[in-house]
Structure 1
Amino acid sequence: MDKSIEEIWSTGFQNNKYLIPPVVVDLYHKKSILTVDKLKSTSKKDNWSIIPIAIITLIFFIIKSKLILGIYIAALMLSMFFLNRKQLAFLETINTSESCFDYLKKLQKWIKNNVKFYTRLLGIGLPLFAYVGCCIFILESNQYEYILESYSFKKLLTTSISILASFSIIGIVGYRVSNYLIYGRLIKKIDEMIDELDLLKK
Structure 2
Amino acid sequence: MEKSIEDIWKEGFLKTDALIAPKINKLYSQKSIHVIDKFKRMFKINLIAIVAFSFIFLIVSFFIGIPITGVIFFVTLSVLVFINKKLLNDLEKIDLGVSSYQYLKAFNQWKNKQIAINKRMSKFLYPIIFISMILGFWFKDAEGIPLGERLVNEIRIGFPDVYLVYGIPLIGIISVILILVLLAFFGGQIYKWDLNIVYGRVFKKLEELMTDIESLRS
Q: CA deviation at 1:198?
A: 1.4
Partner of 1:100 in structure 2?
100
Partner of 1:60 in structure 2?
60
Quote the Cα distance in structure 1 between the aligned partners of 2:64 and 2:186.
25
Change (3 A) 1:161 1:66: closer
1:39 aligns with 2:39: yes
Give the TM-score normalised by structure 1.
0.79
Return the match for 2:179 from 159, 163, 174. 163
Q: CA deviation at 1:57?
A: 0.9
Quote the Cα distance in structure 2 between the aligned partners of 1:75 and 1:125.
11
Native 8 Å contact 1:108 1:191 kept in 2: no
Partner of 1:181 in structure 2?
197
Quote the Cα distance in structure 2 between the aligned partners of 1:82 and 1:166.
26
Partner of 2:18 in structure 1?
none
Change (3 A) 1:114 1:165: same
Quote the Cα distance in structure 1 between the aligned partners of 2:202 and 2:5.
28
Pairwise CA RMSD of aligned residues?
2.7
Matched AA of 2:175:
T
Residues 84-126 of structure 1, C-alpha deviations (whole Å, 9 max, x = no match)? 2112112210111111111211111221222222122112442
Q: CA deviation at 1:156?
A: 4.3
Task: State how many pairs are aligned.
Answer: 192
Matches within 5 A, 1:119-138: 119-138=119-138
- Residue 49 of structure 1 aligns to a residue whose secondary structure is helix
Matched AA of 1:40:
K
Native 8 Å contact 2:51 2:81 kept in 1: yes
Partner of 2:30 in structure 1?
30
Quote the Cα distance in structure 2 between the aligned partners of 1:111 and 1:159.
36
Native 8 Å contact 1:138 1:144 kept in 2: yes
Unaligned runs of 5+ in 1: 1-7
Larger RCO (CA within 8 A; separation ≥ 6): 1
**Greater fraction of residues in helix:** 1
Give the TM-score normalised by structure 2.
0.74
Change (3 A) 1:32 1:181: same
